[in-house]
Every structure is written in C-alpha cells, then in structure tokens.
C-alpha cells in the first residue's frame, strides 16, 4: 500500500474540475435551500443544462466559448422559470418532486438517441474545449508543485473555476446582507409573515431560484471545461451528492458550501483510493476491490443520514439559523 | 409534523443508527452468501483480459442473428467475435483511442437472413468517456411496422395496464406513508428492489421453488418495513425531526441501501426463475405471456384485498383517520404509533411484491431497478393526490398507460420522460391531484 500515492491523489482532488463544479453547485444550492428555503432536488438538471448548453453551442452552432457560457447560463434561467412557475406557489415538497422530475426529463432528453447529432446520446460530447484552450494565456507545459502538477490547459480551467467561485461567493455574500437577502431569509422562516409585509413572495422566490440556478449551471460549465460531458454523470444521485456537500459545510452559510464540497470530494477520493488498497493488503477480507468502491457510496449515504439527524446546521452553521424550519 | 411527541422522547438515536447499520450489514452478508449460487450474466467472450469493449448486437427483422462474424480494427490491433444466440457480440480492445472500424462479415450470415440493398457492413465507432461502446447492426426493418395502429394501441394498453397495476402496488404504500407521517420516502424504490432481491435469494440462492420464494420474499419485505420503522423512523419521529429533514434522511438511506444491494449482486442483471416468454396464442395483436396474466391477477387481487382492509376493518379506518388528521385521531384514542407501524409493514410488503412483479416485467433484477421507477411512483402519487390511497391507484394506472402508449409517438427511450412531463403539467392546473383535496397543498 502506497500511502504517499493515496495522499497525493487525495490532495490533487481539491483542484479537480469536478470539485470546482461541485463547489459552485453547492453555492447555488445554498441560495436555494440555505437562504430561500427552496427544496431544489434538480441540481443535476441545472448542472446538465449549463454543461450541455455550453457544449452544444460550440459543437452544433460553432459559437465562441464566452458566448457559449452565456447561453449555458441563459438556459438555466429558462429552466428555473419553467420549474418555478407551476410550483413556487405550492408547498415546498411539490417543488422537490417537480425539480427532481424535470432534471430526470432533461437527462433522458440528453440520453435519447433521437437527438444523437446534437447531444451525442449515451456517449456524451467531447472536443468542444479547443476554443477555451486557445484563449489560455498561461505558459505551456506541465508545471505546479507536489500533488498539484497539471498541464497548462488544466491550470487554465482551475483558474477560471476559482475566479468564478470567488465571484459567486462575493455575490452571495453581498446579496445576503442586502435588503433582498433579508426578505429571502424571511421567506424561509415564515412566508406568510413576509407576505403580510406586502412583499411579492412568489417573485422573490423566483429570483432566488434563478440566481441559484445560474450559479449551479456555472458549476456545470466549469466541469465541462475540464472534462467531457456525459449524461450518465447528471443522474439523480449527483443531486444528492451536492446536497450532502452543502449540508456538510452548512446550508445557510457563505463558506459552508465551499468547505463542504471540497471536503466531500477529498474524503471520497481518499476512501476510494484507500479502501481498494486495504483490500489489496487483506485488511478487508470480505470485500473485493470493486465492492470497496461501492462501500464508499454506502458511507456517503450513511454520512448524509447522520449529518441531517445529528448536525443539521453543518460544520460552519449555527443552530440559531437552522434551515429546516418546516 | 403532527405525530404527537411523547414525554419519554429521549430514546438514544445512536442506538437506532447502530441497529440500522447492523441491518445493512446483515443484508450485505446474506448477499455475499447468495452470490456464488446464481450465475453472472455478463459473459464477454475474450473481453476479460482487455480493458475496453466494443459490443452490440446483430438483428434481422427484429430477431437476433446467431453466428455472424464481426471484426474490429484500428490499424494496430484487430479483434474478432461471433454473435451468440441472442445476437450479441463483444470484442475486447486494448485502447480506446482513435477510430475503430467494425466490419460485419457478409459471408458469415446464416442463410435466410435478408440483407437490404443499402446496408452498410462497415461502421466506425469511437469511444466516449466510458470503457465500453455499443454499435448495432440492424438488417432489414423490424417486424412491428406491419402491425396496424389500432392493434398496437390495444397491445400497448394491455401492457400499460399491467405496468400500472404493478406500479400501484408500490405507489399505494408510498402514499400511505406520506399520508400518515408526512414523509416523502425516497427510499421506497429500495424497498421495491429489496422484495425482488429476497425472491432471488430464496429461489436461486437457497433453492426453494418460486411459488414459495415469492410469499417468503413478501414476508421478509414486511419485516424489513417493520425494522425500518422501529430502527429509524420511529426514533426520529420521537426526536421531533421535521419532514424535510426526514426526507433527506430517506435520501441518505436510499443511497446507502442501493449500494449495499450493488455490493451484493454486482452491476449485472439477474433473472428470477419461473418467468416465461411464450406468448399466449389466440389473443390477436395482444402479446401476453402467462407471467403477465398471473402478474395482473395477483395485482388486482392484492389491491382489492387492500381496499377492503382500508375501508372495512378497524385498523384500516384508523389509518384513514390518522391520514386525515393525526392530532385529532390521537385525541380520539387512536394509537397513532401503532397505526404508523402497520402502515410501514403494509407499504413494505406491497413494495416487495411489486418488486417481484417488476422483476418479471422488466425483465430482470438489477441493483437500481427500484430507483428507476421511484420518480414514476412519485408522479403517480402526485397525480392521484398526495396522501390518498385510491388516488395512488388511479394515478399509477394513468402513469402506466401513459408510459406504454406514449411510445407510439415518442422514442421508447423517452417513455419515462413523457410521464414526468405530464406530472409537471398537472402541477400547473390541478396541483392537488385527481382525488386530492384543495386544502392539502397549503
């Protein structure tokens, strides 16, 4: 068992495109659930629409990548409107069911062979990053330090991702201490009270749904910049993983989603490197290497249960601002 | 959360959790024992030693072609395979880079297979993100294009009814649990899978005949429901945890259970014994097997029994009372906890039975088979009216019909999407569902 290799793989995960994407998705979800109390179970759908909007704009329509990014984000706005209009007037769990259904519909649309030309069907899309890579101002070659040694193109994805995360964190922080943010939190605590103050609750909820949705879609786009786009990634489980990441860090906090998403991936990478190694040296005699990978997901599920039961406010949250009000 | 909190609310939740974990691992152990008994269906020829696989099938007029030779090459490496009795082939290749050329050998085709004039024997494939890629050769049009629209509609309707009844078994339980406890149980799909897996364990694993294995599986499913209520949900209710938190706990449980199942049976598909694919003759365009008929019969009888239980028995009446208003029911002397326990047992037993039927309908048992219909169950429950048992029945049949009949117009890989789109549209016009009452939507 090579402990150094395991640690190196684990630490490298911190800057992987998937981690950066999850950080953004968790920030967006914190706007939805943490601050506005909206039960968005369609996180994977928002990420998928960002990623596919970005990739299809480039591959099918030949647009430059900054325009493609805007189209990906715009598609998320439309998606939020479609889901919000029927459900935001209803009780919270209706939004949960509709968002999870809409995300699955989207995935099936990306998966069907009827639109193979545009979506690549089950194979997904690849080869759309060349424009983005051409805009890379960094010196070519492979550089970095320790576990964080990447190709120049990968560094470009990481830097763009981190800048996006910084902007998202700043925006959420500014908005949540503004009057708008106070109304949003008021809606989370008691919708009727806010309504009695003359605020248009529906409109505020819709704005929160769109704002958070755009951040989640940005997460999808950042992931797509670094890797290929594949419909099997955007399954319902991905939504649940982002929820786990958010609840781990703290739903109603600014830095909670960042910490939660990074921790989620680091622990996951650590376990999926460590457990097969333990199987190899015979410390887990009742498992095969393949089964030990599944054990990681069992542990994720158990962790989610324990987290919600024993520390629903997350690592950074305070018990006073508990988002589970209903 | 309207279940009344009792004064001795402090039953240690960590004990509950350890109970659950113990349960999970005992299930895992059971599967570990059962695993060698049943054969794995992923039988790749020569594909084991090479990391990447090109697979697919060769069909002619909807029927598999056996013994056709396929060659794959990318310039450096050349691999060959012969299709099996199901028309499948699979070629192991050392790398996924570049473009692979697949050639179907025309001379190897058995006599009697007609080849269209414009058929392309050479196809190009490239790997995506995964280590496998699929390419199919279809010789000639499938047979069904000759069936008239009306015949197809009739056939799909019967299929849809079958699927809907099976879905109803599962959805009724989901709806009852929601009605009595307010929990949107995302782990309900795993209860469906559990029933099918238990049937597999008792039949293929232990070696019991299937007519004994299925009732046993339903009983074990009921015990599973009882265990989940006692181990997780009752302690959490006593702790006074909100419904949204409970919902997320059920999501965690669903993830954990699903992967425990996968650890048990792997990623492949297993078949339950006793299924027959022979179509009953004399029904015209309707293609029904004996398994389908028995499945529908069982569904109808069980649903009728359930309806009688809910409407006529004391405990059924109490269940409806708790569903209506838990506080008022408790105040009039109904033991809410006991009712909820019975509801969990019923829901799990129905879900388990539905899992067995679903295994025959799909066909096959897979670790995520329950999850794949979870959203359809939610759609059915919402369509019929959240928390109403008969609404779930009506909603399920509508969803079942919709899923099957919609394939007349949309590609069959989008058939679940159609049902879910209808769910979203229903939200716009009648959010309380067909049999629901306006007040429930708050």
Indicate the residue of B17, B414, B424 with minimum beta-carbon distance to A102.
B424
Please name the residues between 48 and 77 in chain A that touch chain B, using a CB distance below 8 Å: none
Phi, psi of B81 (to 5 degrees): -155, 160
Q: Smallest CA–CA separation between A116 and chain B, in Å?
A: 12
Separation of alpha carbons B252 and A244, rounded Å:
9
Q: Which range has the worst mean pLDDT, A195-204, B50-59, B390-399? A: B50-59
Are B431 and A86 inside 8 Å of each other by CB? yes
Phi, psi of B185 (to 5 degrees): -85, 100
Q: Smallest CA–CA separation between B376 and chain A, in Å?
A: 9
B153 shares contact with chain A (CB less than 8 Å): no
Report the residue count for chain A.
326
Strand partners, B289: B279
**Residues B181-209: what's their mean pLDDT?**
93
pLDDT digit string, tens, across residues B22-81: 455 445 444 444 433 333 333 333 334 577 788 888 877 667 777 778 888 776 777 778
pLDDT digit string, tens, across residues A231-271: 999 999 999 999 999 999 998 899 999 999 999 999 999 99
Indicate the residue of B245, B256, B423 with minimum beta-carbon distance to A302.
B256
pLDDT score recorded for residue B250: 95
pLDDT at A206 over 80: yes
Average pLDDT for chain A: 91
pLDDT at A123 over 80: yes
**Over pLDDT 70: what percentage of chain A?**
98
pLDDT score recorded for residue B111: 62
pLDDT digit string, tens, across residues B234-292: 999 998 888 888 999 999 999 999 999 999 888 888 888 887 777 787 777 777 888 88
pLDDT score recorded for residue B19: 47
Separation of alpha carbons B367 and A302, rounded Å:
18
Q: Which range has the worst mean pLDDT, A28-37, B22-31, B377-386? A: B22-31
> Which residues of chain A lie closer than 8 angstroms to B17, CB-CB?
305-306, 309
pLDDT score recorded for residue B442: 41
Considering the entire predicted model, what is its pTM? Answer: 0.81
Separation of alpha carbons A89 and B367, rounded Å:
37
Q: Smallest CA–CA separation between A151 and chain B, in Å?
A: 20
Indicate the residue of B134, B379, B441 with minimum beta-carbon distance to A90.
B441
Are A97 and B423 inside 8 Å of each other by CB? yes
Separation of alpha carbons A104 and A102, rounded Å:
5
pLDDT score recorded for residue B114: 64
Bigger pLDDT: B143 vs A159: A159
pLDDT score recorded for residue A271: 93
Burial classification of residue A219, based on how many CB atoms lie within 10 Å of its CB (0-12 exposed, 13-18 middle, 19 or more buried):
buried
Residue of A nearest to B133 (CA): A123
> Which residues of chain B lie closer than 8 angstroms to A294, CB-CB?
259-260, 262-263
Q: Smallest CA–CA separation between B313 and chain A, in Å?
A: 31
Query: Is residue A228 a contact partner of residue A124, using CB atoms and an 8 Å limit?
Result: yes
Q: Smallest CA–CA separation between A5 and chain B, in Å?
A: 23
**Over pLDDT 70: what percentage of chain B?**
82
pLDDT at B4 over 90: no
CA distances from B358 to B206, B256, B296, B376 (A): 21, 22, 11, 13
DSSP string, B116-138: -TT--SEEEEE--SSSEEE--EE
Q: Smallest CA–CA separation between B263 and chain A, in Å?
A: 5
Plot region of B78 (φ>0 → left; ψ -120 to 50 → alpha; else → beta):
beta
Q: Smallest CA–CA separation between A324 and chain B, in Å?
A: 7
B125 shares contact with chain A (CB less than 8 Å): no
Query: Is residue A211 a contact partner of residue A77, using CB atoms and an 8 Å limit?
Result: no
Please name the residues between 77 and 136 in chain A that touch chain B, using a CB distance below 8 Å: 82-83, 85-87, 90-94, 96-98, 100-102, 104-105, 108-109, 111-114, 120, 122-124, 126
Please name the residues between 356 and 375 in chain B that touch chain A, using a CB distance below 8 Å: 371, 375
pLDDT score recorded for residue B32: 43
Query: Is residue B435 a contact partner of residue B384, using CB atoms and an 8 Å limit?
Result: yes
**Residues B403-412: what's their mean pLDDT?**
88
Bigger pLDDT: B127 vs A55: A55
Are B441 and A94 inside 8 Å of each other by CB? yes
**ipTM field:** 0.91
B248 shares contact with chain A (CB less than 8 Å): yes
pLDDT digit string, tens, across residues A45-103: 999 999 999 999 999 999 999 999 999 999 999 999 988 988 888 877 788 888 999 99
A189 shares contact with chain B (CB less than 8 Å): no
pLDDT score recorded for residue B284: 74
**Over pLDDT 90: what percentage of chain A?**
64
pLDDT score recorded for residue B347: 95
> Which residues of chain A lie closer than 8 angstroms to B245, CB-CB?
308-309, 312, 324
pLDDT at B21 over 50: no
Are A309 and B442 inside 8 Å of each other by CB? no
Bigger pLDDT: B65 vs A7: A7
B291 shares contact with chain A (CB less than 8 Å): no
pLDDT score recorded for residue B36: 37
pLDDT score recorded for residue B13: 45
> Which residues of chain B lie closer than 8 angstroms to A310, CB-CB?
13
Bigger pLDDT: B1 vs A129: A129
A322 shares contact with chain B (CB less than 8 Å): no
B98 shares contact with chain A (CB less than 8 Å): no
Separation of alpha carbons B215 and B219, rounded Å:
6
Q: Which range has the worst mean pLDDT, A53-57, A284-288, B229-233, B299-303? A: A284-288
Question: Is the peptide bond between B363 and the residue preceding it cis, with omega within 30 degrees of 0?
Answer: yes
Q: Smallest CA–CA separation between A1 and chain B, in Å?
A: 23
Are B128 and A243 inside 8 Å of each other by CB? no
Residue of A nearest to B183 (CA): A93
Are B245 and A113 inside 8 Å of each other by CB? no
Are B427 and A100 inside 8 Å of each other by CB? no
> Which has the closest alpha carbon to A103: A228, A213, A204?
A213
Plot region of A282 (φ>0 → left; ψ -120 to 50 → alpha; else → beta):
left
Phi, psi of B5 (to 5 degrees): -80, 135
B154 shares contact with chain A (CB less than 8 Å): no
pLDDT digit string, tens, across residues A269-296: 999 999 988 888 888 888 888 888 899 9
> Which residues of chain B lie closer than 8 angstroms to A236, CB-CB?
371, 375
């Amino acid at each position: 068992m090579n402990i150094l290799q395991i640690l190196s793989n684990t630490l490298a995960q911190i800057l992987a495109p998937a981690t950066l994407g999850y950080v953004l998705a968790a920030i967006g979800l914190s706007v939805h659930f943490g601050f506005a109390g909206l039960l968005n179970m369609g996180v994977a759908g928002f990420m998928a629409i960002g990623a596919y909007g970005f990739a299809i704009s480039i591959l099918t329509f030949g647009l430059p990548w900054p325009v493609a990014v805007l189209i990906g984000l715009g598609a998320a706005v439309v998606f939020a409107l479609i889901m919000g209009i029927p459900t935001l007037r209803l009780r919270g769990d209706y939004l949960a069911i509709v968002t999870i259904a809409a995300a699955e519909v989207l995935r099936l649309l990306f998966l069907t062979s009827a639109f193979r030309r545009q979506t690549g069907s089950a194979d997904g899309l690849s080869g759309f990053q060349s424009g983005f890579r051409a805009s890379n101002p960094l010196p070519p070659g492979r550089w970095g330090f320790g576990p964080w040694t990447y190709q120049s193109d990968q560094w470009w994805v990481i830097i763009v991702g981190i800048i996006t995360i910084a902007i998202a964190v700043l925006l959420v922080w500014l908005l949540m201490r503004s009057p708008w943010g106070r109304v949003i939190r008021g809606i989370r605590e008691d919708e009727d009270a806010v309504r009695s103050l003359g605020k248009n609750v529906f409109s505020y909820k819709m704005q929160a749904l769109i704002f958070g949705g755009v951040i989640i879609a940005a997460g999808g786009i950042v992931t797509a910049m670094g890797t290929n786009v594949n419909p099997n990634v955007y399954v319902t489980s991905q939504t649940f993983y982002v929820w786990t990441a958010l609840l781990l860090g703290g739903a109603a906090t600014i830095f909670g989603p960042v910490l939660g998403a990074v921790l989620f991936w680091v622990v996951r990478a650590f376990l999926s490197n460590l457990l097969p190694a333990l199987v190899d040296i015979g410390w887990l005699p009742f498992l095969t290497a393949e089964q030990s990978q599944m054990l990681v997901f069992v542990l994720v599920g158990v962790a989610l249960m324990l987290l919600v039961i024993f520390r629903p406010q997350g690592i950074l949250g305070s018990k006073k601002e508990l988002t589970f009000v209903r | 959360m309207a279940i009344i909190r009792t004064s001795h609310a402090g039953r240690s939740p960590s004990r509950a959790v350890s109970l659950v974990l113990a349960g999970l691992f005992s299930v895992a152990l059971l599967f570990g024992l059962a695993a060698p008994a049943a054969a794995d269906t992923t039988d790749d020829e020569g594909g084991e030693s090479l990391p990447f696989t090109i697979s697919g099938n060769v069909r002619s007029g909807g029927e598999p072609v056996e013994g056709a030779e396929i060659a794959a090459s990318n310039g450096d490496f050349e691999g060959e395979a012969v299709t099996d009795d199901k028309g499948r082939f699979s070629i192991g290749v050392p790398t996924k880079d570049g473009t692979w050329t697949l050639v179907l050998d025309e001379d190897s085709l058995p006599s009697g297979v007609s080849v269209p004039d414009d058929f392309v024997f050479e196809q190009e494939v490239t790997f995506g993100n995964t280590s496998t890629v699929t390419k199919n050769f279809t010789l000639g049009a499938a047979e069904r294009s000759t069936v008239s629209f009306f015949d197809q509609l009739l056939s799909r309707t019967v299929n849809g009814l079958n699927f809907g009844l099976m879905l109803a078994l599962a959805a009724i339980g989901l709806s009852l649990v929601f009605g009595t406890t307010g929990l949107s149980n995302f782990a309900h799909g795993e209860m469906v899978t559990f029933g099918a897996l238990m049937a597999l364990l008792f039949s293929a694993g232990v070696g019991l005949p299937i007519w004994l294995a299925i009732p046993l599986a339903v009983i074990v499913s009921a015990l599973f429901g009882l265990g989940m209520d006692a181990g997780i949900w009752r302690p959490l209710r006593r702790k006074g945890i909100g419904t949204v938190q409970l919902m997320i706990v059920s999501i965690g449980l669903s993830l954990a259970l699903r992967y425990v199942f996968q650890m048990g049976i792997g990623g492949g598909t297993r078949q339950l014994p006793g299924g027959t694919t022979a179509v009953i003759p004399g029904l015209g365009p309707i293609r029904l097997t004996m398994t389908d008929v028995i499945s529908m019969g069982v569904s109808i009888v069980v649903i009728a029994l359930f309806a009688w239980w809910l409407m006529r028995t004391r405990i059924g009446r109490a269940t409806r009372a708790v569903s209506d208003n838990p506080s008022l029911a408790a105040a009039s002397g109904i033991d809410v906890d006991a009712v909820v326990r019975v509801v969990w047992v019923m829901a799990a037993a129905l879900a388990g039975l539905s899992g067995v039927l679903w295994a025959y309908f799909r066909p096959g048992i897979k670790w995520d088979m329950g999850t794949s219909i979870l959203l359809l169950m939610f759609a059915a429950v919402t369509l019929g009216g959240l928390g109403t048992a008969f609404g779930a029945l009506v909603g399920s049949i509508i969803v079942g019909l919709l899923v099957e009949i919609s394939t007349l117009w949309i590609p069959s890989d989008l058939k679940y999407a159609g049902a879910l789109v209808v769910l979203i549209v229903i939200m716009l016009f009648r959010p309380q569902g067909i049999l629901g009452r306006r007040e429930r939507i708050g």
